[in-house]
Each structure stands twice: as structure tokens, then as C-alpha cells.
């Protein structure tokens, strides 16, 4: 059985920080991912993390983070988990670690009252975990007047509430 660990980002110590930076910089290699050589997040720090350690316990080999976010569904707000920094060390891929991490995070988010889980990823990786591609999510910037930009994302419901077909707004940065 694989041991999945949870940690609040506020409790990440220097050792875990360095292990996360090592893993993220190994997994994410596009020019825009250079930031992972010095930090454990893309645009903003997530609040929650799940990870799996190597059998020897000396390195993190799989990881995902969750941002606490809200989306605006017409005039109603809904709590979502923004899944980010999902990665598995190349030497440990093919063992279902992403599915295990997602299942653990989904269970936790559902218990906390999150309605949806949202991520920016590839269909071939995430559809088997219940995610579907949507194009009606709009990132709303902080500028005045605010500008809404349509983005392609993947969503899964954590309740019996289906993702709506109308415009859904997410304030702030992509995660």
C-alpha cells in the first residue's frame, strides 16, 4: 500500500521545500517553468499538498497541490479546489500515483465542502480520474476595469452538482 502524506503548505519545512523544488524542476521543463528551480509553486502558493515519498524515504517522488478558490456561478459563489503542480518523478511513473493522489485530494475536498476540482492539464492524463474539458471558465484579472479571459480547463464535480454550461468566473491567477 502506498503511503500518501498530507501537509498544509504553512508547515512545509526546508527539507520538504528542497525536495519539492527538486521534483518540480525535474518534472516541469518548459522555459516558463524555470521558476520551479527556486520555488515550489507556479503563480501563487497553494494551501494544501499531498505527496508520496520514495521507498527509502529520502525524496518526494509524487506530488499534487490544491489551492482554495471560489468561482462565481452567476450570482452564487462555489468553493473549488484548484489542483496544481501534479507530478511524478520519471523513475516512478506508471504506478498510478497521480490517480491515488487525486483520489485522496478529492475525498478531502469533498469533506471540506468543495463543489468542484479544477485543473489545467491534459485530457489523456486526467479524464480517467473523472475530469472533463470545459471552455466556459473565465479568469478575471485584478485590473480596473476587470478583464475576463476564457481558458480551457478540466473539471470534476465533488458533489452531485454538475458543472454549469454558462460563463463561470474565477478571480485571480491561473494555478
Question: Rounded to an integer, what distance in angstroms lies between the CA atom of residue 5 and that of residue 60?
Answer: 10
Burial class from Cβ neighbours inside 10 Å (0-12, 13-18, 19+) for residue 71 reads buried
- Sorted by where each starts, the structural domains of the chain and their CATH numbers stand as 4-171 (3.40.630.30)
Residue 100, classed as helix, strand or coil, is helix
Q: What is the pLDDT of residue 174?
A: 84
Q: Return per-residue pLDDT of the chain as tens, 175 residues.
A: 789 999 999 999 999 999 999 999 999 999 999 999 999 999 999 999 999 999 999 999 999 999 999 999 998 999 999 999 999 999 999 999 999 999 999 999 999 999 999 999 999 999 999 999 999 999 998 888 889 999 999 999 999 999 999 999 999 888 8
Burial class from Cβ neighbours inside 10 Å (0-12, 13-18, 19+) for residue 168 reads buried
pTM as predicted: 0.94
Partners of 137 in the beta sheet? 151, 168
Question: Rounded to an integer, what distance in angstroms lies between the CA atom of residue 16 and that of residue 11?
Answer: 9
Amino acid at each position: 500500500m502506498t503511503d500518501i502524506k498530507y501537509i498544509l503548505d504553512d508547515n512545509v519545512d526546508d527539507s520538504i521545500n528542497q525536495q519539492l523544488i527538486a521534483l518540480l524542476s525535474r518534472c516541469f521543463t518548459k522555459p516558463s517553468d524555470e521558476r520551479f528551480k527556486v520555488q515550489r509553486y507556479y503563480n501563487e502558493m497553494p494551501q494544501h499538498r499531498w505527496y508520496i515519498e520514495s521507498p527509502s524515504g529520502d525524496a518526494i517522488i509524487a506530488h499534487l497541490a490544491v489551492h482554495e478558490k471560489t468561482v462565481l456561478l452567476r450570482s452564487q459563489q462555489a468553493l473549488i479546489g484548484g489542483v496544481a503542480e501534479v507530478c511524478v518523478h520519471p523513475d516512478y511513473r506508471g504506478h498510478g500515483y497521480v490517480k491515488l493522489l487525486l483520489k485522496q485530494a478529492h475525498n478531502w475536498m469533498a469533506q471540506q465542502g468543495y463543489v468542484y476540482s479544477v485543473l489545467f492539464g491534459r485530457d489523456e492524463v486526467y479524464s480517467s480520474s473523472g475530469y472533463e474539458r470545459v471552455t466556459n471558465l473565465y479568469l478575471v484579472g485584478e485590473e480596473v476595469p476587470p478583464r475576463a479571459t476564457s481558458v480551457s480547463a478540466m473539471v470534476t464535480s465533488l458533489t452531485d452538482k454538475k458543472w454549469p454550461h454558462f460563463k463561470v468566473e474565477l478571480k485571480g491567477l491561473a494555478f
